[in-house]
Amino acid sequence: IGVGLVSFGLFFVLFGMLLYFDSVLLAFGNILFLSGLVFIIGFRRTFTFFFQRQKLKGTSFFLGGVLIVLMRWPLLGMLLEAYGFIILFR
C-alpha cells in the first residue's frame, strides 16, 4: 500500500507540474507521498526522521512548502519543497 501511495503521489506531483503547476494535483500528490512514506517506514520512524535536530531547517522548508501549496500558491510552495528536500537529503 505504501509503495503505491508514494508512486501515485510522485505521479500527481509530476502531472501537476506538467499542467503548469496545478495546485490541486500538487496538493493531492504531496498528501499521497507523505502518507505513503508513513505506510512504508512507519509513523515513529517518519516522525523521528523529519524532526531530528540537525534536519529541522529542511523539515520546516519542506512542510512549509506543502502548506503553501495547500494554500494555493503552487510555484512558491514547490520551490520551498525542493529546497527543503535538498537540505533533508544532503
pLDDT at position 46? 94
Q: What confidence score (pLDDT) does residue 40 get?
A: 97
pLDDT at 16: 95
Residue 90 exposed, middle or buried by CB count within 10 Å (0-12, 13-18, 19+): exposed
pTM for the structure as a whole: 0.89
pLDDT digits over 21-66, tens only? 999 999 999 999 999 999 999 999 999 999 999 999 999 999 999 9
Average pLDDT of the chain is 95
DSSP for 10-77 reads: HHHHHHHHHTT--HHHHHHHHHHHHHHHHHHH-HHHHHHHHT-GGGHHHHHHHHHHHHHHHTT-HHHH
Q: For the chain, what are the domain ranges?
A: 1-50, 52-89
Q: Band the pLDDT of 17: cuts 50, 70, 90.
A: very high
Q: Are 63 and 34 in contact (CB under 8 A)?
A: no
